[in-house]
Amino acid sequence: MSGFDWPTLMRAGLRGLGLSPAEFWRLTPAELQLLLGASPGNAPLARARLDELLAAYPDTKKETENGGV
């Protein structure tokens, strides 16, 4: 049994999104989900994760070999 409801997906892609059959079949399942708005995507960056990134990659300037900044 397939994990996809192809008739419903095809209706959504062809009728709902106005894709041609060739366009529909060139899409990956992830791309189709994104176009249909069904993909949750990434969660917004939380402050704790931002602090982790700032600690790992601080915004500091390093001097170059010729003494410039």
Indicate whether 62 belongs to any domain: no
Indicate whether 19 belongs to any domain: yes
Indicate whether 64 belongs to any domain: no
Instruction: Let me know: does 36 contact 17? Beta carbons within 8 Å.
Output: yes
Return the pLDDT at 20: 95
For residue 60, CA distances in Å to 4, 13, 20, 28, 44 come to 49, 48, 50, 41, 25
Return the pLDDT at 67: 62
Indicate whether 13 belongs to any domain: yes
At 5-47, the pLDDT tens digits run 889 989 999 999 999 999 999 999 888 888 888 756 667 778 9
Q: Is the predicted pLDDT of residue 63 greater than 70, yes or no?
A: no
Q: Amino acid letter at 55?
A: A
